[in-house]
Chain A
Amino acid sequence: KAGVTQTPRYLIKTRGQQVTLSCSPISGHRSVSWYQQTPGQGLQFLFEYFSETQRNKGNFPGRFSGRQFSNSRSEMNVSTLELGDSALYLCASSESNTGELFFGEGSRLTVL
């Protein structure tokens, strides 16, 4: 089985721009979660989707949004980028709500 695939792996944006990140979960996994990883902060939960519905959202501003498609693929969008949005964005898929999270390798965003 192929693992979780995230694209793009690296990207550079400037302040004020917007960005869309994509995640393809493991085949058969219907839950997709997004986390932001920054040095010293660990992994911060952004949101979780299951069958195209957002079930939980973390404490991030409304500039951060996401969605899930009928094939379980997910995207997250960050609008009006700020320098502090520079981070590794990790997507994880899961078979069940309390099961193991399978992480992708992440999308590293740099905001200049």
Chain B
Amino acid sequence: GENVEQHPSTLSVQEGDSAVIKCTYSDSASNYFPWYKQELGKGPQLIIDIRSNVGEKKDQRIAVTLNKTAKHFSLHITETQPEDSAVYFCAASVPGTYKYIFGTGTRLKVLA
């Protein structure tokens, strides 16, 4: 069945350094890949997304890359700040349905 693997499960970086989170999906027909940030006690919030017809997308300090051949996509956060500390989830759309498969999450800690 559909599956999304996410690594690492935890990531600690020094403030100002970059952070990279990687996901691999199983269904080659998936065409939409959002990334969500979940702060403590809150619901996940979309931070960036990418569609299968694009290889890279950037929004200020956040970027996402997609490699359709390898079925792999990554989140890149540059110049990390303490407020970037949260749990990040990747997801992939399931073709022909209205559901998403989520990765198991990455807890990012930005150390001041």
Q: A residues near B, CB below 8 A?
A: 4, 31, 33, 35, 40-45, 48, 50, 55-56, 58, 90, 92, 97-98, 100-106
Contact = CB atoms under 8 A, between A and B. Distances in A.
B104 A42 contact: yes
Of the candidates B43, B46, B101, the one having the most CB atoms from chain A within 10 angstroms of its own CB is: B43
Interface in B68-91: 89, 91
3 closest cross-chain pairs (CB), A and B: A103-B43, A43-B102, A42-B104
Given A48-B97, A103-B43, 17 more contacts: A33-B98, A33-B99, A41-B104, A42-B105, A45-B99, A45-B100, A55-B98, A56-B98, A56-B99, A97-B98, A98-B31, A100-B34, A101-B34, A101-B36, A103-B45, A105-B42, A106-B43
Which size class do B's interface residues fall under? 20 to 34
A104 B98 contact: no
A104 B105 CA distance: 18
Contacts of A55: 97-98
Contact of A101 (B97, B100, B101, B105): B100
B93 A58 contact: no
B104 to A, nearest CB: 4
Interface in B47-81: 49
A32 B71 CA distance: 28
Contact of A43 (B32, B44, B49): B44
B102 A100 contact: no
Contacts of B45: 103
Contacts of B98: 31, 33, 48, 50, 55-56, 97
B31 to A, nearest CB: 8
Contacts of B102: 35, 42-44
